[in-house]
Amino acid sequence: WHLGMGSSIRSGILSLSNCSENIEAAVITVCDQPFLSTEIINNLVAAYYSTGKPIVACQYADTLGVPVLFSQSFFSELTTLDETVGAKKLINKYDKEVFSIPFPLGIIDIDTPRDYQELQKK
């Protein structure tokens, strides 16, 4: 993780691929979204199956981002991301292949102790 988001994605996808060749898709999340829930992840998976779209991303604050589900057809490209970029690069590159689900609270992330303190005040 210290090398950047791309290196973490690469490591995760390679590890997942080594587990089985039959992995259909992967959900990529970040650890600083306090309102991420199993409901959001379940909604990503449900949208993947119901729409047939190979990428299902969350929409918040007029952007698409993580958590995001990528079908196995993107695993190779996910493993070649530059270390300093994240999944958003592929979401933007393949925007016609993306289905979005709402996650308005996805805009809230906790990067510092101060962020956490501010969230507690709300």
Where residue 3 falls among pLDDT bands split at 50, 70, 90? confident
**Torsion over CA: 72, 79, 39, 44 (sign):** negative
Q: Where along the chain do its domains lie?
A: 5-121
Return the number of other C-beta atoms located less than 10 Å from residue 7's C-beta: 15
Where residue 77 falls among pLDDT bands split at 50, 70, 90? very high
Residue 31 has pLDDT above 60, yes or no: yes
Structurally, at CATH architecture level, domain 5-121 sits in Alpha-Beta Complex (3.90)
Return the closest-CA partner of residue 110 out of 101, 102, 100, 120.
120
Quick: pLDDT tens for 87-119. Answer: 999 999 999 999 999 999 999 999 999 999 999
Q: How far apart are CA 122 and CA 21, in angstroms?
A: 45
Return the closest-CA partner of residue 100 out of 61, 56, 34.
56
Quick: pLDDT tens for 49-75. Answer: 999 999 999 999 999 999 999 999 999
pLDDT the model gives residue 21: 85
User: Would you call the peptide bond into 67 cis, given omega within 30 degrees of 0 as the criterion?
Assistant: yes
Regarding pTM above 0.75, the answer is: yes
